[in-house]
Amino acid sequence: MPRIPESEIERIKHETDLAALVRSRGIELKPHGSKDLAGKCPFHQDDQPSFIVTPDKGLFHCMGCGAAGNCIQFVQKFDGVRCLITLGHWLKGFLSCVFLAIWA
Ligand SMILES: [Zn+2]
Protein backbone atom coordinates (compact mmCIF):
# COMPACT_ATOMS: atom_id res chain seq x y z
CA MET A 1 0.00 0.00 0.00
CA PRO A 2 1.50 3.38 -0.92
CA ARG A 3 2.24 5.50 2.10
CA ILE A 4 0.92 9.04 2.32
CA PRO A 5 3.78 11.51 2.89
CA GLU A 6 3.93 12.95 6.41
CA SER A 7 3.57 16.50 5.05
CA GLU A 8 0.37 15.54 3.26
CA ILE A 9 -1.03 14.02 6.45
CA GLU A 10 -0.21 17.23 8.33
CA ARG A 11 -1.96 19.26 5.64
CA ILE A 12 -5.08 17.07 5.78
CA LYS A 13 -5.13 17.26 9.59
CA HIS A 14 -4.81 21.02 9.40
CA GLU A 15 -7.46 21.57 6.75
CA THR A 16 -10.10 19.09 7.84
CA ASP A 17 -12.95 20.37 9.95
CA LEU A 18 -13.22 17.48 12.39
CA ALA A 19 -16.62 18.58 13.72
CA ALA A 20 -18.05 18.66 10.19
CA LEU A 21 -16.49 15.26 9.45
CA VAL A 22 -17.99 13.72 12.59
CA ARG A 23 -21.39 15.24 11.77
CA SER A 24 -21.15 13.93 8.21
CA ARG A 25 -20.99 10.43 9.73
CA GLY A 26 -24.36 11.02 11.38
CA ILE A 27 -23.17 11.94 14.86
CA GLU A 28 -24.95 14.86 16.46
CA LEU A 29 -22.64 17.27 18.27
CA LYS A 30 -23.68 19.83 20.84
CA PRO A 31 -21.61 22.57 22.50
CA HIS A 32 -19.75 21.27 25.55
CA GLY A 33 -17.87 23.78 27.69
CA SER A 34 -16.35 26.81 26.02
CA LYS A 35 -14.52 25.22 23.08
CA ASP A 36 -15.57 21.60 22.87
CA LEU A 37 -18.43 19.71 21.28
CA ALA A 38 -19.98 16.54 22.65
CA GLY A 39 -21.97 13.74 21.08
CA LYS A 40 -22.69 10.06 21.40
CA CYS A 41 -19.65 7.92 20.76
CA PRO A 42 -19.81 5.77 17.61
CA PHE A 43 -17.21 3.35 18.98
CA HIS A 44 -19.13 1.97 21.95
CA GLN A 45 -22.72 1.67 23.13
CA ASP A 46 -23.11 5.21 24.38
CA ASP A 47 -26.27 6.48 26.05
CA GLN A 48 -24.88 9.80 27.16
CA PRO A 49 -22.66 12.13 25.12
CA SER A 50 -19.17 11.09 26.13
CA PHE A 51 -17.55 11.69 22.74
CA ILE A 52 -15.75 15.03 22.95
CA VAL A 53 -14.50 16.90 19.88
CA THR A 54 -12.08 19.82 20.21
CA PRO A 55 -12.34 21.60 16.83
CA ASP A 56 -9.47 24.01 17.59
CA LYS A 57 -7.05 21.13 17.94
CA GLY A 58 -8.77 18.81 15.45
CA LEU A 59 -8.87 16.07 18.07
CA PHE A 60 -11.52 13.78 19.52
CA HIS A 61 -11.62 11.85 22.76
CA CYS A 62 -14.18 9.52 24.29
CA MET A 63 -14.56 9.52 28.06
CA GLY A 64 -16.44 6.21 27.89
CA CYS A 65 -14.22 3.89 25.87
CA GLY A 66 -11.04 5.95 25.60
CA ALA A 67 -11.08 6.23 21.79
CA ALA A 68 -9.03 9.25 20.77
CA GLY A 69 -7.21 10.74 17.83
CA ASN A 70 -7.34 13.13 14.90
CA CYS A 71 -9.50 13.27 11.76
CA ILE A 72 -7.54 10.56 9.95
CA GLN A 73 -7.76 8.19 12.90
CA PHE A 74 -11.46 8.96 13.20
CA VAL A 75 -12.12 7.90 9.60
CA GLN A 76 -9.91 4.82 9.90
CA LYS A 77 -11.61 3.77 13.12
CA PHE A 78 -15.13 4.67 12.04
CA ASP A 79 -14.97 3.07 8.60
CA GLY A 80 -13.15 0.09 10.10
CA VAL A 81 -16.03 -0.44 12.50
CA ARG A 82 -18.51 -0.16 9.65
CA CYS A 83 -16.49 -2.73 7.66
CA LEU A 84 -16.66 -5.17 10.54
CA ILE A 85 -20.42 -4.68 10.88
CA THR A 86 -20.87 -5.25 7.14
CA LEU A 87 -18.70 -8.36 7.37
CA GLY A 88 -20.75 -9.51 10.35
CA HIS A 89 -24.00 -9.06 8.44
CA TRP A 90 -22.58 -10.88 5.46
CA LEU A 91 -21.37 -13.78 7.62
CA LYS A 92 -24.73 -14.06 9.36
CA GLY A 93 -26.50 -14.16 5.98
CA PHE A 94 -24.04 -16.72 4.68
CA LEU A 95 -24.38 -18.95 7.75
CA SER A 96 -28.18 -18.95 7.62
CA CYS A 97 -27.93 -19.93 3.95
CA VAL A 98 -25.70 -22.85 4.93
CA PHE A 99 -28.11 -23.94 7.68
CA LEU A 100 -31.07 -23.68 5.34
CA ALA A 101 -29.22 -25.74 2.73
CA ILE A 102 -28.42 -28.42 5.32
CA TRP A 103 -31.88 -28.58 6.85
CA ALA A 104 -33.91 -28.21 3.67
ZN1 LIG B 1 -16.55 5.64 23.18
CATH of the domain at 42: 3.90.580.10
Domain membership of residue 37 (yes or no) is: yes
Q: How much distance in Å is there from the Cα of 97 to the middle of ligand 1? A: 34
Which range marks the domain in which residue 87 is found?
A: 6-103
Domain membership of residue 1 (yes or no) is: no
Domain membership of residue 55 (yes or no) is: yes
Average pLDDT over residues 18-22: 94
d(CA 57, CA 19): 11
Average pLDDT over residues 39-49: 95
d(CA 66, CA 47): 15
For residue range 83-97, what is the model confidence (pLDDT) as tens digits?
A: 677 777 778 887 777
Q: How much distance in Å is there from the Cα of 49 to the middle of ligand 1? A: 9
Q: How many domains does the chain have?
A: 1
Residues with CB under 5 A from ligand 1 (ion): 41, 43-44, 62, 64-65, 67
Band the pLDDT of 2: cuts 50, 70, 90.
low
